[in-house]
Chains A and B, each alone.
Chain A
Amino acid sequence: MNILTIPFRNIRRKPAKTLLLLLVFTLGVVSIVSLVSFSRVARHSLEQKLWAFGPNILVFPKIEQIRLSYGGMNAGNVTTDVRFLDERAVLAGIDAIPNRGNVRAVSPKLVTVAAMTVPGKASASGADSNVGVVGVLWDREKLIKNYWMPQGRYPETEEELLAGHAVAARLGLKPGDRVGLFGREMLVSGVLEPTGSDDDGVVFGNLALVQENAGRRGKLNFLEVAAICAGCPIGDIVDQMRAAVPDAEITAMMNVVEQRMYSLDFVSNLILAVSLIILFIACAMVGLSMMSQVNDRKREIGLLRSMGFSKGRVFQIVCFEGFLLGVAAGGIGYTIGFVASEKILGALRMLEDASLTFEPAHLAIACGVFGLVSTASSLLPAWKASRIEPSEALVSI
């Protein structure tokens, strides 16, 4: 027996009323837990889908250009020094940045031009056609260009190529054709559907093969990076990459990134707003119920005051009742909310890309947080209870 015996027993006095209040508060907690779970899964799922739109950071070697103009005649820019990046160094540099966890894929490339021989399709200038050839690492390229839809299949060996839609149309290439490139016969394993990008006009091949034949072994002149940073600006990632790869020119496609971040933030903010409204309503219910209880228990409070219970003790008793209610609602609500989220998200097939795990620590945090929130809702009723004088509660003239 101690001061806590009073609130413990009191909340059991009117079980129906207590259960009703607990139910209302628990429903609030269930809603919040479900919404937060939904938000987490939806955010993860959205992130997954957003990656499908390709890279958002481009990496080039630093180049020097001279602007040629004379007598008002503009002859454009001329690159005076063609440079390349070291493949091993640049990949190691990007791997070492603090926000590496936010970099989903890095696709190194060597872009060059080579003569392609297409049997039976001689060009006007001769048997060979110059084409842009991009050497890629296929596992990385497929990760970053997961929106590609090739006719045929992706290359599996060094001797296989993937042709862009426009170049394939120009040269009459189709999956299964054999062409001459780098002095050897190669198989066109697939042709890309139109992408509306530069990918349509080039041929993709094995990076090591392209490097070897371009005389640039271990060198790169272009990298595409897919990065997203929910908790920090994309500028931080770019700055870290610039520091890690000082020879490179690194450009963020800010509008793309910002649009993605906006989508994620919008979902999160919407969930937060709805959660806050639900929490506010639940708190108002608890506060009103506690106020009603204080009015009902004036005589009891007056009795305690007549026995020497201080105003602070009376305040504690009411607050502790609110705390008990919040802890119970937090515990029950978190458990029900978790199970409900799992079932609903499962039914909506939203758990294919993400998973929900029951965390005892989260349960404890929910109990603590909602206990405190409920206590805060009880502050005004508790203050009112502490102001009750025994004379007004017990005395009749």
Chain B
Amino acid sequence: MIEAFGIGKTFRSNGSEIHALRDVSLSVRDGEFVSIAGRSGSGKTTLLNVLSTLMRPDSGTIRYDGRDAASMDARELDALRKNEIAMVFQFHYLLPYLTAIENVALPFMDSMIPVSRDRTDHAMRCLSRVGLKGKEHRLPGQLSGGEQQRVAIARALVTSAKILFADEPTGSLDKGTGREIMELIRGFTDDGLSVVMVTHDREYASVADRVVSMEDGRIVV
């Protein structure tokens, strides 16, 4: 379970201040699918980045299963990102020189110890689950945009994380492919995965268990 209280974040640029988040509080239960909707500049992506530990808030606290993120050192934060948090971005951010299966297994490639057979098989199953069986050894450049995003989703799933943060995961896809991706993500919550997704598309947002709307750095609904 993730709980955020009184989150504030201000960006300073050229002497001016942008209050991206103002006293935001949000909690996500295990297995819950929460959509954060809002117009461009409403602060939804900043909230996602703060919740996913990519960005530190200026004020407020975030707890992951009761552990305060602000009190974690670099090693604990790395471990949290590695074992409990998964991320999918609008742009897939696949490593172009690794094959699909290698991109999926990338989270396991963080040491000199070769990725085990079990983990490789698990990565294969994740790829199959997103419908890419038979395309394991293709490079990202040999896959379509939708397929690349599926690889990115499989990569997010491979570590058995507890919560998936998705930032406009359908933003660069056509409507049909976008719906397929949404169905995929929706299906993962059945396995107990929590999902926090940012989208400006009301149709996709409605797939979630709960929709949170943001405006001017505040949650309005």
Residues on A with C-beta less than 8 A from B159 are: 307
B64 within 8 A of A: no
- The stretch of A6-14, A196-204, A337-345 that contacts the partner chain: A6-14
Q: Are B54 and A395 in contact (CB under 8 A)?
A: yes
Pairs A–B under 8 Å by Cβ, sample size 10 = A1-B105, A1-B114, A3-B109, A3-B111, A6-B95, A9-B95, A13-B96, A310-B75, A396-B45, A397-B46
Min C-beta distance of B43 to chain A, whole Å: 9
Min C-beta distance of B120 to chain A, whole Å: 7
A299 CA to B78 CA, complexed, in Å: 17
Min C-beta distance of B101 to chain A, whole Å: 9
- The stretch of B79-87, B127-135, B186-194 that contacts the partner chain: B79-87
Residues on B with C-beta less than 8 A from A4 are: 112
Q: Given A2-B113, A397-B46, verify A311-B74 contact (CB < 8 Å).
A: yes
Using an 8 Å CB-CB cutoff, how does the interface string of B87-100 with A read, 1 for contact, 0 for none? 10100010111100
A132 within 8 A of B: no
Q: Are A5 and B102 in contact (CB under 8 A)?
A: yes
A4 CA to B97 CA, complexed, in Å: 13
Residues on B with C-beta less than 8 A from A215 are: none
Q: Are B109 and A5 in contact (CB under 8 A)?
A: yes
With CB as the reference atom, state the residue of chain A lying closest to B98: A9
Our count of residue pairs bridging A and B at CB distance below 8 angstroms stands at 85
Q: Are B114 and A2 in contact (CB under 8 A)?
A: yes
Using an 8 Å CB-CB cutoff, how does the interface string of A302-316 with B read, 1 for contact, 0 for none? 011111111101000
B115 within 8 A of A: yes
A303 CA to B45 CA, complexed, in Å: 16
Min C-beta distance of B155 to chain A, whole Å: 8
Which of B18, B46, B55, B112 makes the CB contact (< 8 A) with A3? B112
With CB as the reference atom, state the residue of chain A lying closest to B115: A1
A390 within 8 A of B: yes
A146 within 8 A of B: no
Residues on A with C-beta less than 8 A from B11 are: 397
A212 within 8 A of B: no
Q: Are A308 and B45 in contact (CB under 8 A)?
A: no
Where the two chains meet, the residues of B that have a C-beta atom closer than 8 Å to any C-beta of A are 11, 18, 20, 45-46, 49, 52, 54-55, 74-75, 78-83, 87, 89, 93, 95-98, 102, 105-115, 120, 159
Q: Are A308 and B93 in contact (CB under 8 A)?
A: no
Q: Are A394 and B78 in contact (CB under 8 A)?
A: no
Q: Given A1-B109, A1-B115, A4-B112, verify A308-B82 contact (CB < 8 Å).
A: yes
A265 within 8 A of B: no
Q: Are B97 and A12 in contact (CB under 8 A)?
A: yes
Residues on A with C-beta less than 8 A from B108 are: 1
Which of B54, B96, B105 makes the CB contact (< 8 A) with A391? B54
Q: Are A397 and B109 in contact (CB under 8 A)?
A: no
Min C-beta distance of A262 to chain B, whole Å: 51
A390 CA to B167 CA, complexed, in Å: 14
The residue among A10, A390, A395 with the most chain B CB atoms within 10 A of its own CB is: A395
Which of A9, A299, A308, A395 makes the CB contact (< 8 A) with B55? A395
Min C-beta distance of B163 to chain A, whole Å: 13
Min C-beta distance of B11 to chain A, whole Å: 6
Q: Are A397 and B110 in contact (CB under 8 A)?
A: no
Q: Given A1-B115, A300-B95, A307-B82, verify A6-B109 contact (CB < 8 Å).
A: yes
Residues on A with C-beta less than 8 A from B55 are: 391, 395
Residues on B with C-beta less than 8 A from A299 are: 93
A-B complex: 4 closest residue pairs judged by Cβ atoms: A308-B82, A308-B81, A9-B97, A13-B97
Q: Are B97 and A397 in contact (CB under 8 A)?
A: no
A313 CA to B52 CA, complexed, in Å: 21
Q: Are A5 and B98 in contact (CB under 8 A)?
A: yes
With CB as the reference atom, state the residue of chain A lying closest to B107: A307
Min C-beta distance of B74 to chain A, whole Å: 7
348-387 of chain A: CB within 8 A of chain B: none
Q: Are B78 and A2 in contact (CB under 8 A)?
A: no
Q: Are A395 and B98 in contact (CB under 8 A)?
A: no
A10 CA to B106 CA, complexed, in Å: 14
Residues on A with C-beta less than 8 A from B87 are: 306-307
With CB as the reference atom, state the residue of chain B lying closest to A1: B115
Q: Are A308 and B79 in contact (CB under 8 A)?
A: yes
A258 CA to B197 CA, complexed, in Å: 81
Q: Given A12-B97, A391-B55, verify A1-B110 contact (CB < 8 Å).
A: no
The residue among A6, A12, A13 with the most chain B CB atoms within 10 A of its own CB is: A6
Which of A13, A307, A313, A397 makes the CB contact (< 8 A) with B81? A307
Q: Given A391-B49, A391-B54, A395-B49, verify A308-B109 contact (CB < 8 Å).
A: no
A299 CA to B108 CA, complexed, in Å: 19
The residue among B18, B20, B74, B106 with the most chain A CB atoms within 10 A of its own CB is: B106
Q: Are B106 and A307 in contact (CB under 8 A)?
A: yes
A397 CA to B95 CA, complexed, in Å: 23
A391 CA to B49 CA, complexed, in Å: 8
Question: Can you name 4 extra interface pairs (CB under 8 A) apart from A2-B111, A5-B109?
Answer: A1-B102, A2-B114, A9-B98, A391-B55
A243 CA to B192 CA, complexed, in Å: 89
With CB as the reference atom, state the residue of chain A lying closest to B56: A391
Min C-beta distance of A25 to chain B, whole Å: 21
Using an 8 Å CB-CB cutoff, how does the interface string of A329-340 with B read, 1 for contact, 0 for none? 000000000000
Q: Given A3-B109, A6-B109, A396-B45, verify A303-B74 contact (CB < 8 Å).
A: no
